Structure 1
Amino acid sequence: MFAAAVCVLRLTPDAVWRATPRELALALGPFAGLAAPPSRARLDDLMQRFPDTR
């Protein structure tokens, strides 16, 4: 989200950190259809295959 806000919206890093998640979501709304989030099943599969362990 940070990269999108800086690169797409051209916000300064300070402006991104001051914005609420809701403000960023609304500002990035027109770009939201570009990539859908993974389904719960897909996320579970990825977490199983690539656990966050050392």
Structure 2
Amino acid sequence: MSPPPAAAFPWAEVMAFGLGRLGWTPEAFWRASPHEIAAAARAFDGVRGGQPIARGAFEAMMRAHPDLCGDPSLEEER
């Protein structure tokens, strides 16, 4: 007796996740390993290890690495 046939890989769903939800370029998507894609999917499903970042640490990170959006008027002096 042979085992049942394996289900087809859900390419459409995985590509939609990587290219759409994650915003990866096609090059980044095709370079990603299955483990990397699975890790990203777990992060979106709320399956994470560890604790959330503390508010103070988050604010310090934001000050150290501001989002400038190319507008020099938003840049703070460092």
TM-score, normalised on structure 2? 0.38
Give the corresponding residue for 2:39. 26
Show the 5 A alignment for 1:1-20: 1-20=14-33
Runs of 4+ in 1 over 2 A off after TM superposition: 30-33
Residue 37 of structure 2 aligns to which amino acid in structure 1? L
Q: Secondary structure at the match of 2:28?
A: helix
Count of residue pairs brought into register by the alignment:
33
Q: What are the ranges of 5 or more consecutive residues in structure 1 without an aligned counterpart?
A: 34-54
Give 1 or 2: higher helix fraction.
Answer: 1
The superposition leaves residues 25-54 of structure 1 with CA deviations (integer Å, 9 ceiling, x where unpaired) of 101113347xxxxxxxxxxxxxxxxxxxxx
Identity of aligned residues (%): 42
Structure index of larger Rg: 2
Give unmatched runs, 5+ long, in structure 2. Answer: 1-13, 47-78
Q: CA shift at 1:2, angstroms?
A: 1.1
The root-mean-square deviation of aligned C-alpha atoms, in Å, is 1.4
